[in-house]
Amino acid sequence: KQEVTQIPAALSVPEGENLVLNCSFTDSAIYNLQWFRQDPGKGLTSLLLIQSSQREQTSGRLNASLDKSSGRSTLYIAASQPGDSATYLCAVSQGGKLIFGQGTELSVKP
């Protein structure tokens, strides 16, 4: 059974800092891995999708990497801003189904 773990559960950083969020999964037979952002009381917004054959994806200040063999992904956020404060979720895709981690709650202090 696929299990997805995110570390840390919560993170507080000062504005401007670069940071890394971690995601690990137990079964490497995935189609892709997605990173989502969720603001309090809101739905999920897709940030990045890494296909199983890819190693990384970039969008603006965000960079996500994928190492299928070790079952790990990282989300790198450069020059963090208070507007980045949210919960970040990673999820692996297996046949149209997503298996989620429990998220990392990020707080960026001005």
Residues 91 and 100 sit within 8 Å (Cβ to Cβ): yes
96 binds another protein (CB under 8 A): yes
60 binds another protein (CB under 8 A): no
Strands (E), the chain: 4-7, 10-14, 19-25, 32-38, 44-51, 56-59, 62-67, 72-77, 86-94, 97-100, 104-109
Of the candidates 6, 10, 7, the residue with the CA atom closest to the CA atom of residue 106: 10
Per CB under 8 A, the segment of 10-18, 38-46, 67-75, 78-86 that binds another protein is: 38-46
| Residue 83 three-state SS | helix
Q: Kindly state the smallest distance separating residue 24's Cβ from another protein, in Å.
A: 14
Interface with another protein, residue 13, by CB under 8 A: no
Min CB(106)–another protein separation in Å:
16
Q: Which is nearer to another protein, 80 or 104 (CB)?
A: 104
User: Is position 102 an interface residue for another protein (rule: CB under 8 A)?
Assistant: yes
Q: What is the DSSP string of 60-75?
A: TTEEEEEETTTTEEEE
Binding site for another protein (CB under 8 A): 31-32, 34, 36, 42-46, 49, 51, 89, 91, 93, 95-103
